[in-house]
């Protein structure tokens, strides 16, 4: 949510930002906010004048009674009653306008960073940089679930019977590899100075609407029937919610956290919920990184965060690239975002394995997350950022393909040996692994 002062002072800038996001249907929202804001301020001024009149009359009543002017005093009391009745109606109208303004403001996109490329959708995202040489072996690399099945590591049929498409059972070496990757990612981020956190996996509706747009909420979130609770789609939701309504001491910033959680997503309107694969699914686990910081530091942290993900993937022998999200692919709360994509030697192309985003003060305004400097009365909104460290099992696809050998074995990079009990290579069942 942007500052309403920006709309008052520079509505054309806000409209231009909307146009760059190809959301012309939202242009009228700016004019609607200006109209309601004008009415709201008029009503607020009227309320102030009514309260001043009431206070003045209240002071007069005591004086009139002391002077024996009972009739005039009673008349003044009736005027106070009338003012109170009018004030009640005025305050109800004031709250109505404020509520309508907030509802509309939450639909107006955050102001994008000037560096964001202009484009209608993800097909116009721009490659930033490649890390590592994408390699295509001479031998064929099987589909990722075929690789997993060669280790007796996945059971989609049973999961489908239990929960439907978009779910899975991981077993044996593949399940262990899944956990090893998450543990390695956790320790990798701890070594970067981030605080490890396990958050609540359910959050209330006021937190949901604070961290994401209504469109994202409808497409992603699972609602717990009969309760004001939602399953989280990513730990960012509850991690940012942790600071809801708080005034943060500037001396303690930044807050740098890495969180583990399962994630639950409806994937409404998404293409590719498939029976065979685990690329797009309803349930997965993820290691996330979250930063809450001073406004002037947020883009420095943005660059650090995506670079940490690149560094982690390269330590696992996986080539990656970063892709700048264009204006039309940028979620409404984000000011700037880039995807980290891993190389798929089987498909001979890159695919998304994570996303880094700077939301500037959009979430903080919705959730009331403020900063206060020592010895200063004024507060201001914090900036919030989030980034995927790794998100298995999608990350498993990149790992298995890039470490797959012609004989069906899978190399385990040295950094994972301690997490795999010293195992340096996975051997498929047909080779004698039980």
pLDDT in tens, 289-339: 999 999 999 999 999 999 999 999 999 999 999 999 999 999 999 999 999
Which residues 6+ apart lie within 8 Å of 210 measured at CB? 240, 241, 244, 363, 366, 367
Asked if residue 433 has pLDDT above 50, the reply is: no
Q: Are both 93 and 148 inside the same structural domain?
A: no
Domain hosting residue 192, numbered range = 122-431
Tell me: do 101 and 182 sit in the same domain.
no
Tally of domains within the chain: 2
**DSSP output for 334-378:** -SEEEEEEEEETTTTEEEEEEEEEE-TTHHHHHHT-EEE-TT---
Domain of residue 199, CATH code: 3.30.930.10
Residue 114 lies in a domain: no
Instruction: Write the pLDDT tens digit of every residue in 141-189.
Output: 999 999 999 999 999 999 999 999 889 999 999 999 999 999 999 999 9
Sign of the torsion angle spanned by Cα atoms 269, 143, 127, 336: positive
CATH number at residue 101: 1.10.287.40
Does the residue 110 lie in any domain? no
Q: Convert the pLDDT of each residue in 242-253 to its tens digit.
A: 999 999 999 999
Residue 117 lies in a domain: no
Same domain flag for 161 and 56: no
Q: Are both 218 and 94 inside the same structural domain? A: no
pLDDT in tens, 383-427: 999 999 999 888 999 999 999 999 999 999 999 999 999 999 999
Quick check: 434 pLDDT over 50?
A: no
What is the rounded distance in angstroms from the CA atom of residue 322 to the CA atom of residue 308? 12
**How far is residue 10's CA from residue 48's CA, in Å, rounded to a whole number?**
27
Distance, in Å, from the CA atom of 267 to the CA atom of 84, rounded to the nearest integer, reads 51
What is the reported pLDDT for 84? 86
Q: Which of 184, 203, 155 is nearest to 392 (CA)?
A: 184
pLDDT confidence tier of residue 215, bands split at 50, 70 and 90: confident
Distance CA 297, CA 239 (A): 19
159 part of a folded domain:
yes
pLDDT tens digits for range 28-53? 999 999 999 999 999 999 988 988 88
Own/partner contacts of 223-229, CB < 8 Å, gap of 24 or more, are: 228/204, 229/202, 229/203, 229/204
Tens of pLDDT, residue by residue over 83-114, are 888 899 999 999 999 999 999 999 999 999 99
């Amino acid at each position: 949510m942007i500052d309403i002062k920006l709309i008052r002072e520079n509505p054309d800038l806000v409209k231009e930002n909307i146009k760059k996001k190809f959301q012309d249907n939202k242009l009228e929202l700016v004019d609607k906010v200006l109209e309601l804001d004008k009415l709201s301020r008029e009503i607020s001024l009227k309320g102030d004048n009514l309260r001043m009149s009431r206070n003045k009359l209240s002071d007069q009543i005591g004086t009139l009674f002391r002077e024996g002017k009972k009739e005039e005093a009673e008349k003044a009391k009736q005027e106070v009653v009338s003012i109170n009745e009018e004030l009640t109606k005025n305050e109800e109208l004031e709250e109505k306008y404020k509520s309508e303004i907030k509802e509309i403001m939450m639909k107006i996109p955050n102001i994008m960073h000037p560096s964001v490329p202009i484009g209608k959708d993800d097909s116009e995202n721009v490659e930033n940089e490649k890390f590592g040489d994408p390699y295509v072996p001479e031998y064929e690399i099987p589909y990722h679930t075929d690789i997993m099945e060669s280790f007796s590591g996945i059971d989609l049929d049973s999961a489908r019977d239990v929960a439907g498409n978009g779910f899975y059972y991981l077993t044996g070496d593949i399940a262990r590899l899944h956990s090893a990757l998450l543990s390695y990612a956790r320790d990798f981020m701890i070594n970067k100075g981030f605080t490890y956190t396990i958050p609540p996996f359910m959050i209330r509706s006021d937190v949901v609407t604070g961290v994401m747009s209504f469109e994202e909420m409808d497409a992603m979130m699972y609602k717990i029937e009969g309760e004001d609770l939602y399953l989280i789609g990513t730990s960012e939701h509850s991690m940012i919610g942790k600071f809801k309504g708080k005034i943060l001491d500037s001396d303690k910033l930044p807050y740098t956290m890495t969180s583990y959680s399962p994630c639950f997503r409806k994937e409404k309107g998404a293409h590719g919920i498939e029976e065979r694969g685990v690329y797009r699914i309803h349930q997965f686990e993820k290691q996330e990184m979250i930063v809450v910081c001073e406004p002037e530091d947020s883009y420095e942290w943005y660059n650090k965060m995506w670079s940490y993900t690149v560094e982690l993937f390269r330590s696992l022998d996986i080539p990656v690239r970063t892709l700048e999200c264009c204006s039309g692919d940028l979620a409404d709360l984000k000011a700037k975002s880039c995807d980290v994509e891993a190389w798929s030697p089987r498909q001979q192309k890159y695919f998304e394995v994570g996303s880094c985003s700077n939301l500037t003060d959009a979430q903080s305004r919705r959730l009331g997350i403020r900063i206060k400097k020592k010895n200063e009365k004024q507060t201001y909104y914090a900036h919030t950022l989030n980034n995927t460290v790794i998100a298995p099992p999608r990350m498993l696809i990149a790992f298995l393909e890039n470490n797959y050998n012609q004989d069906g074995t899978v190399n385990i990079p040295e950094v994972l040996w301690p997490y795999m009990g010293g195992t340096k290579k996975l051997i498929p069942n047909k080779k004698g692994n039980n």
